[in-house]
A and B are shown apart, each in its own frame.
Chain A
Amino acid sequence: MSTTLLKTTGIAKRFGPVVALKSVDLEVAAGEVHAVLGANGAGKSTLVKILSGVFPPDRGTIAVNGEPISVRRPRDAMSAGLATVFQDPALVPDLTLDENFRLTRADLPSIRESLARFDLASLDLNTPVSEIPLETLRLIDLARALSLDPQVLLLDEITAALPADKAEHVFDVMRTQRERGRSVIFITHRLDEVIQLCDQATILRDGANVATLDPGAGGHDVLVEAMLGAVPERRETKRSTGNARSDGAIALKAEGLVSGDHVKGVDLELHAGEILGVAALEGQGQERLFELLAGDRRPHEGRILVDGSELRARSPYDAISKGVVLVPADRLRALLPNRSVRENLAATFYNRITSWLGTHRDEPQKVDGAIDRLDIDIRAQGRVRQLSGGNQQKVVIGRWLAAGFRTLLLFDPTRGIDIQTKQQIYKLLRELADDGAAILMYTSELPEIPQVCDRVLVMYDGQIVNEQDGPQATEQSMLSAAHGLQSAESDA
């Protein structure tokens, strides 16, 4: 019906050994609202960043109106008619709004016009950005992007955590752009929005575009299936206990946890002897939740109970001394990367007062025990930094084995780990649970959950929106819930 406005061919990008984009062909027509969808790690945000000039692609071409363009810096993208509203607004916190607009040579009358449309006409432009709530900032950033009168407007999860009335302003802008023959690239986790608003949807999977379809035609299921790809038959998993859930005492309990905009009222109960999974898309508050539980931060509201007594942690040390320990996402952050395996495993003893007087008496045995149990490859005696990712992760878990714990929190423990080590870690977690440990695990790899977890909680927008039985959970059921589609098959 109309001409192609933006076309990318064979866009590829790698970061060191990680291939973020294999090859993406995207075609957006003039007057089209085009959704880009994909699961975590599919490459959506890399694609947006390339189109916005945050970094250049390794290969591939970008053309606007048939003209190939070179986008190496954000300014290049802007002058080519591509304006982006990022998830984190690109407004400088210590400057006022007015100063921000001046800095970017934005067209003030046009911004005022947009702000009036967003019911923000009375906003004082001399307010420092740091004093303005995030949801308002998103609209201000949108107003600034619109003032560039872009050919293509890229909206990267702009509606995430935006209340309905404000999201409506965004939708209104999208419709207007369409009427004016301009295009919008819309990235969101909310599939309802895609179905209602978008003319076309391109689905990314593993760094490549796998489908382009009309989202109105098929509904949720078609979109979710395209994102997941051919759903593999669920591997039968051998879980040693049939139903460990809810049998043990409550080891860790959270009541009404609130922390800023990240965690908005979370209740959970973790029993001794169970592995409880947490599934969520990126940025739904799971990081903050784990920080709270691990004592790295104190909640603004709500409380955390460990074995029935309240945890009022000033630092992770307080949580650790109550037996709650964290295996964080960034392994090297948790380790002493330039020290040996043995020293790393023993590091948790250093706090004990007896160790001030020399080596703790049973330290060597405990360390040896952990090395044996985890089957850590210690041929690389030198530095933990030189170990493989899988072995590093084992050291992180191993140090807690050596030190002893009752509740283990794991944040994405198998990210970037080979399949064999993964299996070893799963097996170990199950053994630990059988021995009475309580385990809470967030993973970005949904297929792990039915294999490993007894129960799974799905987080969305800072809240737990769904609970499913672990072995019964399917990627589809979890992904639907994780996209905020609460009504769809809430309990499998």
Chain B
Amino acid sequence: MTPTRTVPIPAFLRRNAWDLGIWLLLVALVGYYTTLIPSFGDFQMASISKNSLPLVYLAIGQAIIVIAGGIDLSIGSQMVLSGAVAAQVMDERSFVATLILGMIIVLGGAVLNGIVGWVVNVSAVPDIVVTLATSFIWSGMALVVLPSPGGGTSPGFRELFTGSEFGTGTNYVNSMVMIVIPMVLFVYILRRRRVGLSVYAIGSDRNAAYLSGVDVRVAKIWSYAFGGAMAAMAGLATMAITGIGDPRASVGANATLKSVAAIVLGGVALTGGTGSIVGVVAAAIVLFFLNPILSAKGIDPNTAQVMEGSLIVIVMMIAGYSEHRRRRAT
């Protein structure tokens, strides 16, 4: 009964079981994939890590907002907007210029979505309604900035995300580094810095957080700002992979749903307060990875979509049921 004596390793395993499980699932899927295709090498590694970048970024952003007790239905539209703006302003520019522009876009994404967080605070309208509305603003703006797919960026900027100036190749180091950097950064911010802890706190028990002196409104705005920054990163990554901007709203809507699926699979409770970025990153890669696996199995994309959706429903049911059990226990 007393929590005073804990054996370190089992407790660590127990508390991080979901993260470990999802990483093991990823490893298992990679192992399985190698048996499905004739040869598995650097090219496949590069393809998987590079192409999962946008979803990884979106999932990290969505995870932070959901951990804080919200949800952002506009995160995919923000990605589309950022990609469109980037393709428009970066075309024909030098690497240094595109790098600076990229940073400005990420900062801009943070500021814009921070304002959305502020709107949620002052309006007291549920997050889901506010962000559904803002999603139309962002997708509309994307089409204003870039009416049809086009634009471009510097080869160096493409190489930064994809490991190749042409967006395709066998170098997987760059894209893996680009996965690891935000993951480590946000694990540090969320678990070690006060601002990150306050994000967990308002999602876990807003009242307790308030009573212990946390500024719950500022924490909410930060969660949206982090989410907006990651959505902008996702837009940059998409543009770097394809080489052009794509302003279609359907791309954003689809991406939003996948980001929610990824965080649920990654162990983030939709009720807020729990979950870790480490699990979410693995879950986003797993979710992306289902595409090549199912196509290697010869399953047509439509059926694949049905399977993907069913999988998400099952995961949500398991997560929901265990949450229900936990609440009933006390």
Binding between chains A and B: yes
Interface centre among B192, B208, B215 (most CB of A within 10 A): B208
Residues on A with C-beta less than 8 A from B210 are 54, 74
The answer to whether the Cβ of B139 comes within 8 Å of any Cβ in the partner chain is: no
Q: Which residues of B contact A317 (CB under 8 A)?
A: none
| B197 and A103 contacting across the interface, CB-CB below 8 Å | yes
Q: Which of A54, A89, A92 contacts B200 (CB 8 A)?
A: A92
The answer for the CA separation of A99 and B200 in the assembled complex, in Å, is: 10
B1 neighbours in A (Cβ, 8 Å):
133
State in angstroms the CA–CA spacing of A74 and B213 once bound together: 5
A84-107 contacts to B (CB < 8 Å) = 84, 86, 88-95, 99-100, 102-105
B215 CB contacts on chain A under 8 angstroms: 73, 75
A123 close to B (CB within 8 Å): yes
Q: Are A104 and B273 in contact (CB under 8 A)?
A: no
Asked if A424 is an interface residue, CB under 8 A from chain B, the answer is no
Q: Is B39 an interface residue (CB 8 A)?
A: no
Q: Which of B193-244 contact A (CB under 8 A)?
A: 194, 197-198, 200-201, 203-205, 207-215
Binding-face segment, B3-11, B42-50, B70-78, B157-165: B3-11
CA distance A200 to B191 in the complex (A): 44
Q: Is the CB of B3 within 8 A of A104?
A: no
Q: What's the minimum C-beta distance from B62 to chain A, rounded to whole angstroms? A: 18
Instruction: Tell me, yes or no, whether B123 is within 8 Å of chain A by CB.
Output: no
Q: Which residues of A contact B191 (CB under 8 A)?
A: 99
CB distance from B140 to the nearest CB of A (A): 36
**Contact, CB under 8 Å: B208 / A54:** no
Q: Is B15 an interface residue (CB 8 A)?
A: yes
- Report the separation of the CA atoms of residues A123 and B213 in the bound assembly, to the nearest whole angstrom: 24
A132→B213 CA distance, assembly (Å): 21
Chain B residue with Cβ nearest A124:
B6
A128 touches B15 (CB 8 A): yes
Given A75, A86, A93, A120, which contacts B4 in the complex, CB threshold below 8 Å? A120
Question: Does B330 lie at the interface of the complex (its beta carbon under 8 Å from any beta carbon of A)?
Answer: yes
When distances are taken between beta carbons in the complex, the residues of chain B under 8 Å from A90 are: 207-209, 211-212
Residues in A with CB closer than 8 Å to B212 are 74, 90-92, 100, 103-104, 144
Per-residue interface assignment for chain B, residues 312 to 330, with 1 indicating a CB less than 8 Å from any chain A CB and 0 otherwise: 0000000000000000101
0/1 string, A101-132, CB within 8 A of B gives 1 = 01111000000000000001011100110011
User: Which residue of B4, B204, B328 contacts A94 across the interface (Cβ within 8 Å)?
Assistant: B204
Check if B88 is an interface residue, CB within 8 A of chain A: no
Q: Is B121's CB within 8 Å of the partner chain A?
A: no
> Tally of A-B residue pairs with Cβ under 8 A?
85
Interface size on A, residues (CB 8 A): 36
Chain A contacts for B204, CB-based, 8 A: 92-95
- Chain A nearest CB from B243 CB (Å) reads 42
Contacting residues of chain B (88-106) with chain A, CB-CB under 8 angstroms: none
Q: Which residue of A has the minimal Cβ distance to B193?
A: A102
Question: What residues of chain A lie closer than 8 Å to B209, measured between beta carbons?
Answer: 90, 92, 103
| Chain B residues touching A, majority SS | helix
**Across-interface contacts of A122 in B (CB, < 8 A):** 4-5
- Which B residues are in CB contact (< 8 Å) with A283? none
- A84 to B15: give the CA distance in the assembly, Å: 31
Known contacts A120-B4, A123-B4; A103/B201 CB under 8 A: yes
CA gap between A86 and B204 in the complex, in Å: 18
Given the complex of chains A and B, what is the CA–CA distance between A261 and B1 in angstroms? 14
Q: CA of A50 to CA of B273 in the docked complex: distance in angstroms?
A: 27
Closest to B275 in A: A94
Q: Is A136 a contact of B3 with CB atoms below 8 Å?
A: yes
B274 within 8 A of A: yes
| Residue from the list A74, A260, A297 in contact with B211, Cβ < 8 A | A74
With an 8 A cutoff between CB atoms, is A52 at the interface?
yes
List of A residues within 8 angstroms of B194 by Cβ: 102-103, 105
B3 and A89 contact, CB distance less than 8 A: no
**Given A74-B213, A88-B208, A95-B201: A124 touches B274 (CB 8 Å cut-off):** no
> What separation, in Å, do the CA atoms of A131 and B210 have in the docked complex?
21
Contact B197 A94 (CB under 8 A): no
On whether A94 and B274 interact (CB within 8 A), knowing A103-B194, A136-B3, the answer reads yes
Which residues 346-397 in A have Cβ within 8 Å of B in the complex?
none
CA–CA, A187 and B193, complex, Å: 35
Residues of A within 8 A of B6 (CB): 124, 127
Would you mind naming 20 contact pairs between A and B with Cβ atoms under 8 Å apart? Answer: A74-B211, A74-B212, A74-B213, A75-B213, A78-B213, A91-B212, A92-B201, A92-B204, A92-B273, A93-B208, A99-B197, A100-B201, A100-B212, A103-B194, A103-B198, A104-B214, A123-B3, A124-B5, A124-B6, A127-B3
Q: Shortest 8 CB-CB distances between A and B: which pairs?
A: A90-B211, A94-B204, A94-B273, A103-B197, A92-B201, A90-B212, A122-B4, A75-B213
- Which of B's residues lie within 8 Å of A, judged by CB? 1, 3-6, 15, 191-192, 194, 197-198, 200-201, 203-205, 207-215, 273-274, 328, 330
